[in-house]
Structure 1
Amino acid sequence: MNSWLKQSGAVGLDSLELADFPDTGRGVKTLRPFKEGEKILTIPAGILWTVKHAYADPLLGPALRSAQPPLSVEDTLATYILFVKSRESGYDGQRSHVAALPTSYSSSILFAEDDLEACVGTSLYTITKQLEQSIEDDHRALVVRLFVQHPDLFPLDKFTVEDYKWALCTVWSRAMDFVLADGNSIRLLAPFADMLNHTSEVKQCHVYDPSSGNLSVLAGKDYEAGDQVFINYGPVPNSRLLRLYGFVIPGNPNDSYDLVLSTHPQAPFFEQKQKLWVSAGLDSTATIPLTLTDPLPKKVLRYLRIQRLDASGLAVIARQQTDATDGKISDSNEVEILRFLVESFSYLLDSFGTPLEKLEQQLAEGVYSPGGNAWAAAHVSLGEQRVLRLARKRAEELLSAVESGSGNVRNRCANCGKGSAQLSLCGRCKAVAYCGRACQVAHYKQHKARCQATASKSG
């Protein structure tokens, strides 16, 4: 591959070489020192894998243009890679790059079910299951829309669903994305540069030049001869690292949990609430990342304050000159959303296949083979459970503060919110009260997880 790269105008290859490293496997080694910010490598525009180049190919381009609707960026690049891989002549340079790619990947979509079971309850588990089905569907669509229309270009024995998965994993794990000055974006694969491994210990150092179309890599720190050269993918949680790149970082400080909040359009006062969500920079369906440093973002509270507004609350906000949802609207509204969050986080934590403490013990005892698929999946579960524990604790603290500050919260029904002197405490947890049996039964599904958690603590 190096001779093709040099002939194509790649710069910097004389100071680098591919090597195997004990911690990361295949990577790039320096042959001389580099100072931080120094240009290490430049891959010219003409040999980058891009959608533009796929459409410009004299054989592949016309076939791609015939597909309706047009292929996605991912499918275009995956098809481009498989097309070159399948050719026996005419693409020697690009085929040398394909030959240097891994023959297999460790993305979660390739896990055996037993390995994936280690992260039951995580967002990764859910997304992986969804991806497995969508990949099957997408491949069938590609066969109909493109492959069978051009059998001379796409022999089906070389464009199987397993080939397609391999090509997708190649794109996910090795492509680079850049946002251009005009707001558009470009996704590309750069030969040799795609062999660089990730670490958060270097500055982000891969650069795309829109004027030349070249891809350059700068030194993200000082390097001595023999060091491995790294790039930085950015602050990526383990769930995304394993899904796209096939590895995890134990104790990843960027671990997160994507909390999805949604409201049905038929819900009461939906149109008024939608306007409030938009003014708050949200929407009726919002995905908000919970992180180790900010486990309960203000956006979550703002969304729920709006969602739980009744007619009187909407009338109050309508009279305000500023956005009242940035802070507590009322004690009853705040208590309602915080109770909902505590119970929801408890429910989510209960849905994990292995609880946090047991998972930590299993990892410490070597139950999962270090570096294996199940081990990696377990670390994803560990990170997401830690985030959700912190989120629940924060919600409990805020709830306690509101309850102690208002003085009369336990004089309100946990289901309907009405105040009464005749309320009855939950017989198990003693933490909430109801105005009657009907409200207690109606609220049980929502309250169950918190009730069990509170009762076990007090017991």
Structure 2
Amino acid sequence: SKIMENLNCDKERNLVSWGISNGAKTKLDVAYVEGAGRGAVAKEDLNIGDVALEIPSSIIMSGEVLNQSEMLPVFETIDGIAEDTMLLLWSMKEKHKRDSKYKLYFDTLPDKFNTGLSFGVEGLMALEGALLLDEIVQAKEHLNSRYNELFPALSDRYPDIFPPELFTWEQYLWACELWYSNSIRVIFPDGVLHTCLVPIAGFLNHSICPHILQYGRLEATTNSLRFALSRPCKAGEQCFLSYGCYYSSHLLTFYGFLPRGNNPYDVIPL
């Protein structure tokens, strides 16, 4: 991977510094990588078992952030609302708060995610006849119906908590793309699986031949999420993660990229 030295990573490095001041540990640096956007590069030679990144639970965005949210009393009145949906709506408002604990995290996020979900008409027309088109259209229809179940009803009833200008369809789609492309499913020490946003970890890119394979459990002893290597990574080399065993059209729809090389998880529906 060729490192793009001339591109500015100040926002990303500010987030890393904030993470370290809150107990994170890292052997990775953030850089712009040709053809991939941001990536995480090893600062030193890393061997099998070395922990490249460790993030304390105190800065992980999980369902616990809802306990301090003014939205929680409203959510408690909505029958059967999922934690993932509550977090999605929480993040739509939190990204605009200047005093947010997670402001430096939201500052590193793009104004637009280029996943298949935000393909314009021209992009979708180019896919005409492709199975991927059906996948994207079905996913967007599902998200649109979920949005319509919530809005404008919530904004009409609670305009102070859900200001209509912050809860448009476009903002909702942005938040969906954020959680699809950046969240990690983490098993907490009590055995419960939670969908989380993990600062700094989002800089790690996916590969079909990753360095880091297993990272989905919060360590009870350290109360942190640890990213240990399953194969060595040399200093200056991009360190890759596995996002999961996904076929290429899923990665394009929900993450916005196609993996390099032959994806062993590709399927051809008959």
Same fold (TM over 0.5): yes
Aligned-CA RMSD value: 2.3
Structure showing greater radius of gyration is 1
Residue 214 (structure 1) aligns with: 224
The offset of 1:31, in angstroms, is 1.5
Residue 242 (structure 2) aligns with: 232
How far apart are the structure 2 equivalents of 1:94 and 1:221?
32
Partner SS, residue 46 of structure 1: helix
Partner SS, residue 228 of structure 1: coil
Residue 95 (structure 2) aligns with: 85
In structure 2, what residue type is equivalent to 1:169? E
Q: Is the 8 A contact 2:189 2:218 kept in 1?
A: no
Q: Is the 8 A contact 2:66 2:90 kept in 1?
A: no
Residue 72 in structure 1 maps to residue 72 in structure 2:
no
Deviation track 1:175-207 (CA, whole Å, cap 9, x = no partner) reads 112457987422111000011100121251324
How far apart are the structure 2 equivalents of 1:121 and 1:253?
24
How far apart are the structure 2 equivalents of 1:188 and 1:137?
24
Residue 10 (structure 2) aligns with: none
Residue 6 (structure 2) aligns with: none
* Aligned pairs, number: 253
Picking from 43, 46, 66, the partner of 1:55 is: 66
Partner SS, residue 153 of structure 1: coil
Q: Is the 8 A contact 1:200 1:234 kept in 2?
A: no
4+ aligned runs moved over 6 Å, structure 1: 180-183
Residue 52 (structure 2) aligns with: 40
How far apart are the structure 2 equivalents of 1:172 and 1:70?
21
Unaligned 5+ segments in structure 2 are 1-14
Bigger relative contact order (CA 8 A; separation at least 6): 2
| Greater share of residues in helix | 1
Unaligned 5+ segments in structure 1 are 259-387, 389-459
TM-score (norm 2): 0.84
Residue 100 in structure 1 maps to residue 101 in structure 2:
no
Residue 255 (structure 1) aligns with: 266
Partner SS, residue 27 of structure 1: strand
Residue 185 in structure 1 maps to residue 178 in structure 2:
no
The offset of 1:168, in angstroms, is 0.5
Q: Is the 8 A contact 2:206 2:259 kept in 1?
A: no
The offset of 1:131, in angstroms, is 2.4
How far apart are the structure 1 equivalents of 2:223 and 2:253?
29
How far apart are the structure 1 equivalents of 2:22 and 2:160?
29
Residue 142 in structure 1 maps to residue 150 in structure 2:
yes
How far apart are the structure 2 equivalents of 1:246 and 1:116?
14
Instruction: Describe the shift of the 1:222–1:135 C-alpha distance in structure 2 as closer, same or farther (beyond 3 A).
Output: same
1:47-446 → structure 2 map (5 Å cutoff):
47-51=59-63, 53-66=64-77, 68-89=78-99, 91=100, 93-178=101-186, 184-202=192-210, 203-209=212-218, 211=220, 213-249=223-259, 251-258=262-269, 388=270
Deviation track 1:91-130 (CA, whole Å, cap 9, x = no partner) reads 1x30110111122112112112332234334443223212
Percent same amino acid among aligned pairs? 25
TM-score (norm 1): 0.51
The offset of 1:208, in angstroms, is 1.8
